[in-house]
Each structure stands twice: as C-alpha cells, then as structure tokens.
Amino acid sequence: MTEEAKIPLLGMTLMELKSVVAQIGMPVFFARQMADWIYVKKVASIDDMTNISVRNRRALNESYTIGCSAPIDKQCSADGTIKYLYRTAAGKYIETVYIPDDDRATLCVSSQVGCKMNCRFCMTGKQGFSGNLTAADILNQLYSLPERDALTNVVFMGQGEPMDNLDAVLRATEILVADYGYAWSPKRITVSTVGLKKGLKRFLDESECHLAVSMHNPFPEQRAELMPAEKGFGIREIVDVLKIYDFTHQRRLSFEYTMFEGVNDTEAHARELLRLLEGMECRLNLICFHPVPGVDLKGTSEEKMVRFRDFLTRHGLFTTIRASRGQDIYAACGLLSTAKQQGLEL
C-alpha cells in the first residue's frame, strides 16, 4: 500500500485506536501506548514506537501511518507572527498562524479548505469551498508546527467555518483535552463561528471550550450585507440561544467585531450592541480590518476604535481592541493559500 493510501493514526480517539489494535490482534492496552507515542511523544513514524514489537509495528505499517506532514512554506512577520502553509492529505492548501505574545503563544488553525460562508470581507470565502479537513489535518497544524512546544492556546479562527465541519472539530478538541491526548484545559481552546444553528447548539452541549461568535454588525439587515449566513440564522436568534447557557464559570463567550469605516463604527452601532448583549456574561473584541484584494471596505481608524471601545466600556460592556499582528506578511486569512493555489509567487 502506498503511503498516501494508508490511514492516519493522528486524529484517532482512544476508542478508535482500540479498534485498530483489535483488528491487528494486539492487546487492548497497546491502544493507550500508541496514544502516548502519538499525542505525548509526537513521533513521526510508527517505527519510533519502540515498546511495540517489531512484528506488530510491521503489521501497523501495512495499513496505517502517523499522518503528520511539515508545513511547505511560511511567511515571517517582524512582530514574530508566522503564517505557515500546509498541504492537506487531499492535496489542498490551508493556513495556520503562530502568534507569540510575551508568555503566551497562540495558534490559529483552519477547519476547512475554503469556506461556504462567503463573508464579504474574507479572502477565504472568495476561494469557494473545496472540502472539510479531517481531524488529522486539523491536529497536524499543531503536531508538525516547529514551535509546537511553546503553544499555550489554540483558536479555531483560520480558514473555514468550524460548525460546518463539527464532527472533525469536536474530535480534534476531544483529543486536545483528553487525558490520553494533549491533556489541555478546555480554557486553552476557542472555537469561532458565524453562527450555524444546529452546529452551535451541539457544540455548546458537547464541548467545554470557549466560544467566539463573529458578529461584525448588530443590525440584522446590515450584518446580512457583510455575512450571508445572517439570512439563515440571525444574530438575534444566536444571542437568544446563547442566553440559555451559563458563561459565568470556566467557559468564556466572546463576540468578534471587525470594524469598517462608515459601516459598523457609529454610536448607533455601539448602542445597539449594548442593547443586544445586555445582561450577558461576555466580552466584545474589536478587530482591525486587514485589506483584502477586491474588497471595497476600509478599516476604522485606531482613534475611532478607541472611542468606540471606551464608550462601550463606560456603559458596562467589557470591550477590548485586539492587537493587530502580521501586517507586513499575508496577514488576512486566505491570502497565502490563495496565492499558492493560483500559482503566484509567495
């Protein structure tokens, strides 16, 4: 069997690894040993699992592979941000962004190749949708990262809509928090969404990871002009669903708000945000817009963003301005992979 045809062990849960060892005729406890080799020791090859017999390793190698692959390109920013380009098992291209910040290091991972949501301001949406990532593709972004040992946090805010590929996202986050896996606290993981009704409810019921909702405009009609997903499941309905859940303990709820000059940065927008989010335990993250080719939107000035933040803060809504990173590289999501897919020089 060719290496490409083999089944990746990366991305398998402990139960799935138990099925693998059972098929080969290995004792069931070998599954946890394999999980340790993969998720703790992060081996690159089945042959590196030295406490498994040569015969069993040979049997595993016939049909399985670890499934890891190094990034094929990168762009480095003067501020330390690094955008990596990965080739998926299906031969597509995705981006991952490593963001160091003092004692923190966050990795922004992708969940799909392209995206169906087609948000007006997002380059990934302009690629169209090419397919879902597997759990192996998602985890490989951490597994094969040169700076993997420095990571403190992961955010699912890269290419794609996580709730549109929820099975793979939940499998990946399970492995990240499981005692047989990375053993991370769910507080180290944030999953972002534009708000897909079925996926959102399932995520809230099945995961304890933080949630970030892409809002970008509190007025439904205006939000629909930026985000077509508003027409299927509106921001007001999303907020109504979120109010059912408890965010006063470990899990954090945040709303993402990219600011566009003259589009969503007026006092009227600020007051509607206060009305919409009244009584909710949440935070609002204001984001500087990175220009995208062919998009007729301009980012709000830093001075105006500060006034917007201060107005909301004075009125009781915890609001922050997210530091803009990687502006001297292909910073906006989707630019690097689009360039690669179109055969442009990087």
Rounded to the nearest 5 percent, the helix, strand and coil shares of the chain are 40, 20, 40
- Tell me, what's the pLDDT at 336? 61
pLDDT at position 282 over 70: yes
For residue 203, what are the CA distances in angstroms to 192, 233, 242, 270, 308?
A: 11, 16, 11, 28, 31
DSSP 19-79: HHHHHHT--TTHHHHHHIIIIIS--SSGGG-TTS-HHHHHHHHHHEE------SEEEE-TT
Return the closest-CA partner of residue 242 out of 283, 271, 189, 185: 283
Model pTM? 0.93
pLDDT at position 144 over 90: yes
- Tell me, what's the pLDDT at 127? 84
Structure-block tokens of residue 239: 């907020």
Q: Catalytic positions, please?
A: 95, 333
- Tell me, what's the pLDDT at 331? 52
Q: Mean pLDDT throughout 259-271?
A: 98
Look-up: residue for tokens 């922004």?
A: 108
pLDDT at position 326 over 80: no
